[in-house]
Amino acid sequence: MAIYQNILQTIGRTPVVRVNRLAPAHVNLYVKVEAFNPLGSVKDRLALGVIEAAERSGALKPGGTVIEATSGNTGIGLAMVCAAKGYPLVVVMADSFSVERRKLMRFLGAKVVLTPAAHRATGMVVKAVELAEKHGWFLTRQFENQANPDTHAATTAREIIDDFAGQQLDYWVTGYGTGGTLNGVGRVLRAESPDTKIVVCEPQDAALIGSGEPQARQADGSPAAGHPAWKPHPMQGWTPDFIPKITGDAVALGYADQVLPIAGPEAMRWSLELARNEGIFCGITSGATFAGALQVAATAAEGANILCMLPDTGERYLSTPLFADIPADMDDAEREIARSTPTFAEAAG
């Protein structure tokens, strides 16, 4: 067992786990479980990477305040990093995202500023820029900061290459929010595992890459009022209502061999199936990526190796429709079990 000097040293080195009961028999299907990061998501990597890059460049000085617009996971990761390093943090988030995300960030000491859901991701980005400029705070700019994909190239990608050393990785399946994972891992796979097919999943109701429509920009280069292909969807953290620069760069560089639209109900279904059939507890975006991996598996060659990214933990979604049918009280079957012996049987009704 290693002894770590701080919590930040535990970020990364997440496990690749074989899927046994849900995988088609003719392929080898694996998942990379990013919930093993200390704050439960792949965005812990991004958070540490952008802060340490800013420290090295001098953009972030001791005692400086950090600000970011986020759907939650990046903010939670930043809250951990800022707490460990002693930076105040302000997070701007649309009020449509789950309340547990807000509470986690506040529990870690961050200030959370909410913007109207109707203004979507573009609105929270604009608000974060305004606050950063007014107060002189350091804006991490996760959607365009090159430190984001560089971190994934240096960590996530290297872990994948090492885990599949000596065998061919035929398919790598991922979603995208900022595009950091896609861009950073895609860069390394193209250079060191060029035969690996990169499959990108996105919400069916927000198929930004698949729409073929360019991202609208304002005169200052910031996102315009929203991408015309974007509609509300349950995959929190995936596809803001604009195509992030990092994502656009990845697509332009050819890091997407196939793009799969995933329906919201399918994403929630496979998150639940992973929990109940594999014991893997993950969120809606993970269910969406896994749904895409199953589509890939259906037509893959015998013995193909498929790796699917699972971005975060299911605990981010307790207040969302993912848990809508999970009761807190005993159902009839549970009450019957309780009544089957005399102790506290009356409590079962």
DSSP H or E segment with residue 309: strand 305-310
Q: Tokens 């037509």 — which residue?
A: 299
Burial 152-166 (b: 16+ CB within 10 A, else e): bbebbbbbbbeebee
Please give the Cα distance from 142 to 148 (Å, whole number): 7
How far is it, in rounded angstroms, from Cα 117 to Cα 135?
Answer: 24
Given 32, 43, 127, 245, the catalytic residue: 43
- The interaxial angle of helices 99-107 and 73-85, nearest 10 deg, is 0
The answer to whether 39 and 72 have CB atoms below 8 angstroms apart is no
43 is catalytic: yes
Phi and psi at 289, nearest 5°, equal: -65, -40
Q: Are 209 and 243 in contact (CB under 8 A)?
A: yes
**What amino acid is encoded at 64 in this protein?**
G
CB 54 within 8 A of CB 60: yes
Please give the C-alpha separations between residue 309 and each of 6, 231, 248, in angstroms, as whole numbers: 26, 24, 20
Q: Which of 160, 208, 167, 206 is nearest to 184 (CA)?
A: 160
Q: Which residue has the tokens 């793009």?
A: 259
**Quick check: 115 and 93 in contact, CB under 8 A?**
yes
Give Cα 299 distance to the centre of its chain.
26
Measured distance CA(70)–CA(66) in Å, rounded: 13
What residues act catalytically? 43
